[in-house]
Structure 1
């Protein structure tokens, strides 16, 4: 398949055409963007989109980093993300503000509705019937338009990322975050990653429809090579088009399973909470009894935000938790979901846990902590990814820059 890369001129034309179709005269626009854990040429989009919004008549632009539960970005990190000096920008362009979402601060949140028990049961296919209050950053109510601007990739919780996911969990409160991530865990990443129409997506889209402010989206399909496509439309339509292209761009097909994967993480994954994507994206091609090695010498942290809870429960398969729920009911479901996603599918019966594959950390995390987390340990200094990649072992797959391309078996 020929892959077209959009230059700045083509990208600007697509975005300008999409935004000028709306009447933005005098409007305050809330722009939701990813943090540094997603591949996205944000300096390009920041320059092009803010110019296009201004040309379309927008009066005020608030650019909010849709962190979900990721750590907040300081000024230096934001400068790197957006490719500019924000202190100078605030002086030169007074209509622009850049802020972080603060999911743990109740004062920043407002309730826009409830997903009632019957609706949740219907959307989840009967897997969950708990009513969920829908809380979101109150900035959605103080602006005239919410503009989502972010990439779309295969995703372990929702099937494909992007679109309304920048609202939930991007700028939401913990209720929807925990509910959607737990639903994804019940379904398992193995089953839904790279699938467009999932129950989790249905819940997210339902919650988004409760927001009274108009929504619009710029959904991008990007790789390190560049921007392959950008779609500007309502969030559901823009996301659907981007997900269709992502399925062509971001999926690598194998003819048969491998025994071992070396998932080499890029530096943008600086904690296991996000670096575990190296496991999610390769799990489908690992043979039963095989191994995924997360290779990241730079990674020393499990999670700045959730580390305490993760260390309390460790990493286990889904049924380990379901089979003894009383022991874990106090733990946020989003944390348990992360635990099950990284450990992969498996069984728990008669007190014995049997994961389908082994997960090994070859990182800056110590052997002792790996044991505490219920993960295997390998000294990264004993692993040479380049040598392994150049070798002739067909049972070992080395994935450079692991975490965004999904690997699947062709007959699955």
Structure 2
């Protein structure tokens, strides 16, 4: 087990040239390869720098790169425009589309007793370790798994073996993993490197993935000072958990913000190209919920959101059952076979609820008032909210215009926000790491 390259700090700025040199160092250590598969994230992780790194890897290995398979999970495939924007120089004929319903192989099971403990007794079934058939049976001599480590609502921290078991996993594995996370509790999970679901995936990796020539290329992305842009703060390349832990430690320093007091009103903006469904856009809820005040309001300005689910079947389930409290969804589960057969949808419905603690007002560009209110959210016209809270004039964190104070987040996918007392109530303190919000008015 090896770390081939490690660099990063909250102040570091890793340039494209630095990244190329890092990959060259790692690839030199790996030696010559003849059949390479690259597994980057999809377009919803555009800011991860994975597009750049995938292109650098392609430039290095050239014709030895036989397959590029974005880790879609249950998301929609990339459009041609998205592929060209994110991966530019890589030929279209190298791309493979992961089919989470039909094109996977089950390579083993994590025992039911482990799942039962992780799900707080709600599930007593083994967890199926599933991966895409091409990755498992393709005979590659190098599989490069590329992506960003950042706090995550289901896994605690994103990436590492999640890229294989969820990003290239099957419906059964994705359903169970999402539901286990919901049972354990999102607020107990987010920002925690070690948690029951991650231990399930780590066990599956130790037991079943050893035959694959896997190397992880992990990034940490943070704000670039006052410029409004983003910087590559960390780059870690290796083949084991130590590589992931190093990236996760830095991510907690870069991406986790402690706010000084609960937020009464938060405004979150969702980029039109990145967030096209509430399945993705509800990161606005997940990542801010531990900072929201009881009775507060979360306003989500979502010009690109025109549907609920990335998958048509899941979209229909969201419309039918809505974002309800955990007890309500658990009650639905007892009676609704269609929800029992789509536990990832049930988990998503739980995750999207504030559990009655604060209100959620969605302002989508492509859904009607009837659509939004039908799933349990409040609705406000997008144009009206964009005029009241123009994203280009808002700064990250607290803003005070003399009439009200709002907390602004320009991209919820890049961080996690919490007040310390709520964080402590939901689990052990992460210790160090989290930065304090410095923009709060007195």
Q: Shared fold (TM-score greater than 0.5)?
A: yes
TM-score, normalised with respect to structure 1: 0.88
Structure 2: stretches of 5+ with no match in the other structure: 1-8, 223-228, 424-442
The answer on whether the counterparts of 2:39 and 2:71 sit within 8 Å (CA) in structure 1 is: yes
CA distance, structure 1, for counterparts of residue 71 and residue 90 of structure 2: 20
The 5 Å alignment of 1:175-324 reads: 175-209=172-206, 210-211=208-209, 212-223=211-222, 224-267=229-272, 268-305=274-311, 306-324=314-332
CA distance, structure 2, for counterparts of residue 164 and residue 32 of structure 1: 11
CA distance, structure 1, for counterparts of residue 254 and residue 220 of structure 2: 8
Of 164, 169, 175, which aligns to 1:172? 169
| More divergent stretch after superposition (387-396 vs 146-155) | 387-396
Match of 2:418 in 1: 408
TM-score, normalised with respect to structure 2: 0.82
Of 396, 401, 404, which aligns to 2:406? 396
The answer on whether the counterparts of 1:110 and 1:138 sit within 8 Å (CA) in structure 2 is: yes
Match of 1:71 in 2: 76
Match of 1:94 in 2: none
Structure 1: stretches of 5+ with no match in the other structure: 91-96, 347-354
Match of 1:118 in 2: 113
Partner deviation per Cα, 1:160-201 (whole Å, 9 max, x = no partner):
101111112100111110111001111222221111111111
CA distance, structure 2, for counterparts of residue 391 and residue 161 of structure 1: 36
Match of 1:81 in 2: 86
Structure 1 residue 133: Cα displacement: 2.8
CA distance, structure 2, for counterparts of residue 70 and residue 30 of structure 1: 20
The answer on whether the counterparts of 1:43 and 1:84 sit within 8 Å (CA) in structure 2 is: no
Of 383, 389, 392, which aligns to 1:385? 389
Match of 1:16 in 2: 24
SS of aligned partner of 2:352: helix
Match of 1:349 in 2: none
Match of 2:6 in 1: none
The answer on whether the counterparts of 1:149 and 1:218 sit within 8 Å (CA) in structure 2 is: yes
SS of aligned partner of 1:181: helix
Structure 1 residue 43: Cα displacement: 3.9
Structure 1 residue 362: Cα displacement: 1.3
CA distance, structure 1, for counterparts of residue 118 and residue 32 of structure 2: 34
CA distance, structure 2, for counterparts of residue 127 and residue 373 of structure 1: 25
Of 154, 160, 165, which aligns to 1:163? 160
Alignment: residue pair count: 389
Q: CA RMSD in A?
A: 2.2
Note closer, same or farther for the CA distance 1:74–1:400 as it changes in structure 2 (3 Å cut): closer
Note closer, same or farther for the CA distance 1:42–1:158 as it changes in structure 2 (3 Å cut): closer
The answer on whether the counterparts of 1:280 and 1:403 sit within 8 Å (CA) in structure 2 is: no
Structure 1 residue 380: Cα displacement: 2.2
Match of 1:41 in 2: 49
CA distance, structure 2, for counterparts of residue 229 and residue 253 of structure 1: 21
CA distance, structure 2, for counterparts of residue 298 and residue 2 of structure 1: 31
SS of aligned partner of 1:343: coil
The 5 Å alignment of 1:74-153 reads: 74-84=79-89, 86-87=91-92, 97-104=94-101, 106=102, 108-122=103-117, 124=119, 126-140=121-135, 141-142=137-138, 143-153=140-150
The answer on whether the counterparts of 1:164 and 1:208 sit within 8 Å (CA) in structure 2 is: yes
